[in-house]
Chain A
Amino acid sequence: SQQGEEDPQALSIQEGENATMNCSYKTSINNLQWYRQNSGRGLVHLILIRSNEREKHSGRLRVTLDTSKKSSSLLITASRAADTASYFCATAIQGAQKLVFGQGTRLTINP
């Protein structure tokens, strides 16, 4: 099965609310990265958290990493219509030049 699995697969919220997406993985990692993809377009890097970090912020984004549970979460606060996109977590496998992506969470922000 996939190294990175995301939950939920789809999320629909009202503009202004917070959105939380979760990612679980199986093996040891060097870092975990979150990307955004607007429909059928290229992926845009959002944030990278290293295995020795527990929390990281970037603007309205907050990422947490729990290596003991092999899980991460992405929180988007005060959501906007422009945040509508698919969000992917990607784990950089320790000791290998491999970035393994989850299946993504489809986020819809309703005006």
Chain B
Amino acid sequence: EAQVTQNPRYLITVTGKKLTVTCSQNMNHEYMSWYRQDPGLGLRQIYYSMNVEVTDKGDVPEGYKVSRKEKRNFPLILESPSPNQTSLYFCASSWRTGTYNEQFFGPGTRLTVL
């Protein structure tokens, strides 16, 4: 089944404790991106990647890192999480032309930073 998977689905952590949220897709998509969803703000793009070893900042990249060493994986790294990063995070993927095509979303990761 074609899908985007994220792990973990739920995470409660404390301020400053490094964490990684994994994202993997099995559709051979070149384009992958991360969003966060907050009440009243919709979804905002954090980072995106057009292909392996190519990443770029979205609208809200502060406090986040990403890497794209393999085509299928696009982990989101929070080196020192803070409470304002408490949010619902979504990974998405698409074909080579990125946002010019439909996006396939993962199920989401609900992160709470205490």
B20 at the interface (CB under 8 A from A): no
Chain A contact residues: helix, strand, loop or mixed: strand
Q: A92 contacts B104, CB within 8 Å?
A: no
B74 at the interface (CB under 8 A from A): no
Contact with B along A31-47 (1 / 0, CB 8 A): 10101000011111100
| Residue total for B at the interface (Cβ-Cβ under 8 A) | 30
Interface residues of A in 83-111 (CB under 8 A from B): 88, 90, 92-93, 97-104
Q: A92 contacts B99, CB within 8 Å?
A: yes
**Beyond A48-B101, A97-B56, is A42–B108 a contact (Cβ under 8 Å)?**
yes
Q: How distant is the Cα of A1 from the Cα of B67 in the complex, in angstroms?
A: 30
**Beyond A31-B100, A98-B99, is A42–B42 a contact (Cβ under 8 Å)?**
no
**Beyond A98-B45, A98-B58, A101-B43, is A45–B90 a contact (Cβ under 8 Å)?**
no
| Residue total for A at the interface (Cβ-Cβ under 8 A) | 25
Q: Say which residue of B31, B44, B90 sits within 8 Å of A97 (CB atoms).
A: B31
Q: How distant is the Cα of A45 from the Cα of B101 in the complex, in angstroms?
A: 10
Q: B45 contacts A99, CB within 8 Å?
A: yes
Q: How distant is the Cα of A23 from the Cα of B108 in the complex, in angstroms?
A: 24
Which residue numbers of B lie inside 8 Å of A, CB to CB?
Answer: 4, 31, 33, 35, 40-45, 48, 50, 56, 58-59, 88, 90, 92, 98-108, 110
Which residue numbers of A lie inside 8 Å of B, CB to CB?
Answer: 2, 4, 30-31, 33, 35, 40-45, 48, 88, 90, 92-93, 97-104
Sort A-B residue pairs by CB-CB distance and give the 4 closest, nearest first: A92-B99, A45-B102, A101-B43, A42-B105
